[in-house]
Chain A
Amino acid sequence: AQSVTQLDSQVPVFEEAPVELRCNYSSSVSVYLFWYVQYPNQGLQLLLKYLSGSTLVKGINGFEAEFNKSQTSFHLRKPSVHISDTAEYFCAVSGNTPLVFGKGTRLSVIA
């Protein structure tokens, strides 16, 4: 079985500052990893995914994530955030089960 831990429930950051949202996973099989974003009162939208190959994955809206097998992590980063990045971010893992989601991290960008 797989599990996901998002280490921060809330992350406040000033506009144009860098941000990292942390995600750790647990699995006994090979995994596929995903980051989703949810804006208020909307469904989830895929930001990026890691399936295989290069451990640095680039997604939409300037986000990227790095898969680290030894640390079982898949942290999400953006070098300079905008007010419009204010949202909830979910990390998810899939292996031999349907997607398992973390509890989410609320990113608040402060002007």
Chain B
Amino acid sequence: SQTIHQWPATLVQPVGSPLSLECTVEGTSNPNLYWYRQAAGRGLQLLFYSVGIGQISSEVPQNLSASRPQDRQFILSSKKLLLSDSGFYLCAWSATLQGTYEQYFGPGTRLTVT
């Protein structure tokens, strides 16, 4: 069966510091991968998605970036964190980009920027 991992589970970082969040998927090949941010009371915001290695689509312009160095690995990064980057970050995968296949979510990373 497929599983999705995220780490770290929680992170407290000062403003201006770099960020690296990692997501890996097991049990499937060539998944579509997604990064979402969830801020309090604001629902889910799609940040990036990827259909393959090195292929990243950005949904929201910001100081975050994403990379996909391996088929089942998705990394969210920032060179300098802002207070507004605080939130709950969720990684997800799906078999297809659109249509009938649902997304499966990881456990999330709680990021607090101080």
Contact = CB atoms under 8 A, between A and B. Distances in A.
Interface string A78-95: 000000000000100011
B103 A99 contact: yes
B46 interface: yes
B5 to A, nearest CB: 11
B107 interface: yes
Contacts of B97: 98
B108 A41 contact: yes
A74 interface: no
Contacts of B41: 9
Interface in A37-56: 41-46, 49, 51
B107 A51 contact: no
Interface string B75-100: 00000000000001010101001111
Secondary structure type dominating chain A contacts:
loop
A103 B43 contact: yes
Chain A: number of interface residues, binned into ranges: 20 to 34
Contacts of B107: 42-43
A3 to B, nearest CB: 12
Given A41-B110, A103-B43, A94 B99 contact: yes
A96 B103 CA distance: 15
A98 B105 CA distance: 14
B34 A98 contact: yes
Given A34-B102, A41-B110, A51-B100, A98 B46 contact: yes
Interface of B: 32, 34, 41-44, 46, 49, 88, 90, 92, 94, 97-100, 102-108, 110
9 contacts: A43-B107, A43-B108, A44-B92, A90-B43, A90-B44, A95-B98, A95-B99, A98-B34, A99-B103
